[in-house]
Amino acid sequence: MQKIRNIAIIAHVDHGKTTLVDKILHSCSIFRDNETAGELILDNNDLERERGITIVSKNVSVKYKDVKINIIDTPGHADFGGEVERVLKMADGVLLLCDAFEGAMPQTRFVTQKALALGLKPIVVVNKVDKENCRPEEVYEQIFELFFNLEATEEQLDFPVIYGSSKQGWMNTDWKVQTDNIFPLMDAILENIPPAPIQEGTLQMQITSLDYSSFVGRIAIGRVARGTIKENMPVSLVKRDGKIVKSRIKELYTFEGLGKVKVSEVSSGDICAVVGIDGFDIGDTIADFENPEQLEVISIDEPTMNMLFTINNSPFFGKEGKFVTSQRLRERLYKELEKNLALRVVETDLPDAYLVYGRGILHLSVLIETMRREGYEMQVGQPQVIIKTIDGVKCEPIETLIVDVPGEVSGKVIELVTQRKGELLIMEPKGDLQHLEFEIPARGIIGLRNNVLTATAGEAIMAHRFKAYEPWKGTIPGRLNGVLISMDKGMTTAYAIDKLQDRGRFFVDPGVDIYEGQILGEHIRDNDLVINITKGKQLTNMRASGTDDNTRIAPAIKFSLEECMEYIQADEYIEVTPASIRLRKIYLTEQERKVKGKSLVGQ
């Protein structure tokens, strides 16, 4: 029996996966006494830290009682399900983390279903039992019911449960008894997760993720399924389509702590990083040189949404970005396909526009935000759901939407969701909140979050999960209000904004450069209004006392990238540059909008 355990940590977003990994790393003495490691060690890129979510899965390993435990931290958000699906192939068991108050959320169901289908052994960790009005016993019952509904085997249904608080750094089998360490969890991993199996025979290793180093280029990461992989060994790379490419391994690394350690060989069951193989993709198999055998290719769920990406052609083109040409945009999008399995890129009839397919608003917005920080300038159109024809019937993606809100505002939420063709399935109390479950077209969720948060004074907790393709539900009303559009190019003035405040709410501050056709704010009515906010005050040498009013301007509304994506309509673009995010009409002049706009509105 070899002393290796491979576990993946899965949970709904914000239930404490990365914090738990922090505590495991600290308790297994990965760091020197004088080393400050900080918090959320694995969320190591800026976007992950800012948003407090995991976007890319990470591998680390710890030593506990002479056993090497490889830990895979996975994203919790449904939009990054593609990440979870492929890295579960490296694990023999999973830690399913659940919030002691919220219980099993939609994303928990999604990843648990994938893990159970692969036959992985689960350990359930009920986290955050230090929270007020938490309900650990109810959550345990809820998870047992979830496993049963997902057709878990007898062995999987007999799962161990550990209670605790990863933030406070303790775990125990009894939630009422607080300990001072997380060793009960580590012991449960050694007792319940099967050791990584040793399989004799010719080499088989599937590439399930990749890394990049500026010194050696692309690095393949995966688990050795059979045989032994050695340094300088000649191998065959079996592509997804069955094509075989001969290659040679230059260097091998295994994971130790937060880093990698160079080794000469790795036997089956361990996770390793391979340097020296060119032209590989995720899902390819590294196999024996003479008798290559392919492992089953990773299947990833289809995307449900697409967006048009095009070069920036606004009057401010090239002022703020480093990469602005269609060639650069195309290269970057195709490079993203190498590691982002749930993404698709399709060329359009236009030479400088691409349709990018993804899992949802967050999936696409993280790509846009990453490109923006790398210095790219571009424009993106309104997100569109993917429509399919199944047995001659027009079908669209339907999502399960779960909203937890204070009881007194639940009526407003139900009204907002049903306006968008949502159907209320379940309404029940959950602690001091009302728990609502709906089925709603994916189109209806775009732009819903802002309205729900406004109606509930920010107290709603929303989560959704793709359910299935079902027949088209009919038209859904779009944005209720029109927009305020700039008539002129120039700099905004406080005087002009002040005079037009009764026409709507502004998205721009005084002293900002704007151009004709840019969207400056939201109109109070349902039609678009063209305005001029570059007008200054006419100054003369004649002054009458008491006629100079001080300008009082309401603060401008600042949208995040996701809010912009949910806000815009079919005839509008978001202009994204490293320094700013602007909303604009596709056709900048009023004349063009009158001639060409009619065809867009009908879409």
Q: Three-state SS for 391?
A: coil
The Cα 228–Cα 287 span in angstroms is: 10
Q: Is 130 annotated as a binding residue?
A: yes
Neighbouring-strand partners of residue 469: 397
Phi, psi of 176 (to 5 degrees): -85, -15
Start-to-end CA distance of the chain, whole Å, equals 62
The Cα 18–Cα 77 span in angstroms is: 13
Alpha helices in 341-409 (DSSP H): 361-373
Q: Is 16 annotated as a binding residue?
A: yes
Query: What are the Cα distances from residue 241, in Å, to 48, 223, 226, 296, 377?
Result: 34, 21, 21, 11, 35
**For residues 90 and 57, is the Cβ–Cβ distance under 8 A?**
no
The Cα 492–Cα 175 span in angstroms is: 59
Q: Three-state SS for 145?
A: helix
The type of residue at 77 is H
The Cα 104–Cα 62 span in angstroms is: 28
The type of residue at 161 is V
The type of residue at 528 is D
Q: Pairing mode, if any, of strands 121-127 and 161-165?
A: parallel
Q: Is 18 annotated as a binding residue?
A: yes
Q: Three-state SS for 208?
A: strand
Q: Is 127 annotated as a binding residue?
A: yes
Q: Is 228 annotated as a binding residue?
A: no
Q: Is 266 annotated as a binding residue?
A: no
Q: Is 15 annotated as a binding residue?
A: yes
- The residue assigned the tokens 């090497």 is 68
List binding-site positions. Answer: 14-19, 127-130
Question: Which residues fall in the annotated binding site for GTP?
Answer: 14-19, 127-130
